[in-house]
Copies of this chain bind each other. A is one copy, B any other.
Amino acid sequence: MKNTIVSHRKKIHPRIYLDHAATTPVEKKVYRKMERFFTDNFYNPSALYHEGVMTRRALRDAREHVAGLIGALVDEICFTSGGTESDNLAVVGTVRAFRRANNQVKPHIVTSAIEHPAILASCRALEEAGEADVTYVGVSASGIVDPKDVRDALRKNTVLVSIMHANNEIGTIQPLRAIAAIIRARRKDTGSPYPYFHTDACQSANYLDTNVLRLGVDMMTLNGSKIYGPKGVGFLYVKRDISIDPLARGGGQEFGLRAGTENVPGIIGLAEALAITEHMKEKEAERLLVLRDRLIDRICATIPGVFLNGDPKERLPNNVNLSIPRVESEQMVIELDAHGVACSARSACKSADEGASHVIMALGTVTDETTGIIRFTLGRSTRKADVDHVAEVFSAVVQKITEATL
């Protein structure tokens, strides 16, 4: 019977993609919006003639659309080439602008130990160059930053606090509003515009409220490739009174924050993708939460010693991250692949030879080096039957690997 189901599935649904945190397909409707901007409406939006004006209007409409969807003003949206660039722009841009104005004071950054590599690597580079000091606050065993730790880490020279909205590996949701309140109080006390508060919301945009006013952030990173939009495009929300330096200079596009001819089709696609995800996020979050917990329950019921990494409640509705005793992460991914399931052991933004995940290490709950990690991230295409099938296949895979190594 099991074989029949498997071979039946193979015919009508040969592969199950559960790596939506790595990237998402471009939604058909998004793609159709972008299409004509490649071959027909291809003009440079800076041009003075009719076609340039039309393109400039399309770009302005997309910017207004994006701004409206996150509660921002139109000149607070700086389009970039994606999440990594936006994160770097927030971190490096803040430090460079501060140093230009205050060259006697070495700036200080507060971030967390579980941030995306784009934040961590840019912070480390600033430390190594002697341009900034950085405090990496830890997280609880369930992967949550304590706002009090952020408050305690603040110094007189803290120019930036960067805490992600939801983690890309374990899906834990960070208490941004509480951190924002601490930062606001600090700024009120000192009368300084610093520290700025930045968040990377790439993983949360499909499921959580990303209204910048309600979150209380000064900068926010978002990208297209995680919200069923195009790759190679994203934006940084930059509040009006925030002063950051550009990473790349030239023609003065994006209010002087990011030079280069605008990626018009990408921006059009990003705006449409964000509109769609905003429209469906509540229902989709509800739907996936049920599937997520079903997958967790089924796996935990069949595999001995397995446990969920990251808080079970304060987590994205599409994220399942598990520790499996005595099984290698990569081997699970490869075996699952052979059985028609695409998933990851950790962030796709880390190369295979970098050792253990910095996020899992920060939890302090996985002390046994032989414990493997697996991440399933659900998405729009995920159905109940997929979840049941994956739970079944995964149990078989783990059993097979465990038996082979005994």
Evaluate contact between B25 and A118: CB separation under 8 angstroms: no
Residue interface bits A136-165, CB-to-B below 8 A is 1, else 0? 000000000000000000000000000000
Q: Tell whether, in the assembled complex, residue A88 and residue B251 are in contact, meaning their CB atoms are under 8 Å apart.
A: no
Check A349–B52 contact: CB distance below 8 A.
Answer: no
Q: How far is the CB of A72 from chain B (nearest CB, A)?
A: 22
Query: Which among B26, B31, B337 is the interface contact of A50 at CB below 8 angstroms?
Result: B337
Q: Are B23 and A42 in contact (CB under 8 A)?
A: yes
Report how far A261 CA is from B226 CA in the complex, Å. Answer: 11
Q: What are 29 contact pairs spanning A and B, CB under 8 A? A: A15-B50, A19-B49, A22-B44, A22-B47, A23-B42, A26-B42, A27-B39, A31-B38, A42-B231, A44-B348, A48-B333, A48-B344, A48-B345, A49-B333, A49-B341, A82-B261, A84-B248, A84-B261, A88-B249, A88-B250, A96-B129, A118-B250, A118-B259, A121-B249, A232-B265, A232-B266, A251-B347, A251-B350, A251-B351
Q: How many angstroms from the CA of A334 to the CA of B260 in the assembled complex?
A: 24
Interface string of A215-244 (1 = CB under 8 A from B): 000000000010000111100000000000
A178 within 8 A of B: no
Chain A residues 62-106 with CB under 8 Å of chain B are: 80-85, 87-89, 96, 100
**Contact between B15 and A42, CB atoms less than 8 A apart:** no
Contact yes or no, B250 A247, CB < 8 A: no
Q: When A42-B25, A118-B248, A250-B349 are in contact, do A231 and B263 touch as well, CB less than 8 Å? A: yes
Give chain A's interface secondary structure class.
Answer: loop
Is A307's beta carbon under 8 Å from chain B?
A: no
A87: chain B residues at CB < 8 Å are: 250
Each complex incorporates copies of this chain amounting to 2
A343 at the B interface (CB under 8 A): yes
The CA of A47 and the CA of B225, in the complex, are separated in Å by 14
Closest Cβ of chain B to A6, distance in Å, is: 17
**What residue in chain B is nearest A118 (Cβ atoms)?**
B250
Residues of B within 8 A of A250 (CB): 84, 87-88, 116-118, 121-122, 349
Nearest CB in chain B: distance from A253 CB, A:
8
Q: Say yes or no for A330: interface residue by CB 8 A criterion.
A: yes
Please tell me if A252 contacts chain B, counting CB pairs below 8 Å: yes
Q: Which of A250-299 contact B (CB under 8 A)?
A: 250-252, 259-266
A371 at the interface (CB under 8 A from B): no
Assuming A28-B39, A51-B342, A231-B264, is B83 touching A248 (CB within 8 A)? no
Partner of A265, one of B24, B96, B125, B231: B231
Contacting pair B351 A252 (CB below 8 A) = yes
Contact partner, A84, options B47, B83, B251, Cβ 8 Å: B251
Query: Quick check: is A352 within 8 A (CB to CB) of the other chain?
Result: yes
A113 to B61, CA, bound (A): 36
Asked whether A357 is an interface residue with its Cβ less than 8 Å from the other chain, the reply is: no
Task: Note all chain B residues with C-beta closer than 8 A to A122.
Answer: 248-250
Q: Given the known inter-chain contacts A17-B51, A19-B44, A351-B252, please indicate yes or no for A260 contacting B39, CB distance below 8 A.
A: no
Task: Establish whether residues B259 and A48, one from each chain, have CB atoms under 8 Å apart when the complex forms.
Answer: no
Closest 10 CB pairs of A and B: A232-B263, A251-B349, A84-B260, A118-B250, A81-B81, A121-B249, A49-B337, A88-B248, A22-B44, A26-B38
